[in-house]
Amino acid sequence: MLEIIYQDQDLIAINKPHGLLVHRSSIAGDAKEFALQMLRDQIGRRVSPVHRLDRKTGGILLFAFEKEVEIAMHKQFQEGEVLKKYLAVLRGYAPDQMDIDYPLTKDDGVVQDAFTSFITLKRAELQVPFGKHATSRYSLAEATPTTGRMHQLRKHFAHIFYPIIGDRKHGCNKQNRFFKETWDMTTMLLHASELVFKHPVSGEKIQLKAELQDEFKRVMTLMGWDQKDHTIPTTQPE
């Protein structure tokens, strides 16, 4: 059963598990379950997603019940009016703060502007050898993308050489293999932690937060990071 973190007469949000597709896709023929259909079956109502979330990314996924609300929320996302925050575990000691202004190219060759800001919340050095290094270093970052390009955070962190752990397409294969062999972990450590937006019907400010999921929590423990700082309760409208 999906974890519902917010619901009113117009919108519903879940804490999507890592590895769950939002809907059917021709590029993921192996998938048998989809968040869209699971939520419809769970609540017995038609819903439509109002934004994207990668299969391997966990966290907040927002749906609308009616077409008019879906269109209004799409517009807010497209016009950059929604505040989005993500937590990511990165390879290496990332800078304290950084703005990434790096255009991304779509599969059809179209180049799109892409902007991401992030701050580093925590760093860890584990006494676990990696390659020629005697220890392993990691960072916990809070990222705020102001555009919404496909795989934006994954590509941006790879571009600055602090890839997201568990990202097979854009990340570090050696680190991904290291996590699998050392801790039996293949989860991509990217979590959609917070959404803030204007309710499309009532006009009130809505702030949604999603708790970290089990594998992400396990990494927090391995790194010695205090989960209380980042284990987030559901937030109701303000």
Catalytic residue positions?
54
Instruction: Report d(CA 137, CA 127) in Å as an integer.
Output: 9
- The kind and range of the H/E element at 97 are strand 97-101
Instruction: Report d(CA 42, CA 102) in Å as an integer.
Output: 40
12, 31, 64, 95, 114 from 45: Cα distances, Å: 11, 22, 10, 45, 35
Output the CA torsion sign for 225, 192, 213, 56.
Answer: negative
How is the chain split among helix, strand and coil, in percent rounded to 5?
20, 35, 45
Instruction: Report d(CA 51, CA 49) in Å as an integer.
Output: 6
35, 149, 213, 229 from 226: Cα distances, Å: 30, 31, 15, 6
Instruction: Report d(CA 100, CA 115) in Å as an integer.
Output: 6
Neighbours of 214 (CB within 10 A): 10
Among the listed residues 86, 98, 99, 71, the one whose alpha carbon sits nearest the alpha carbon of residue 10? 71
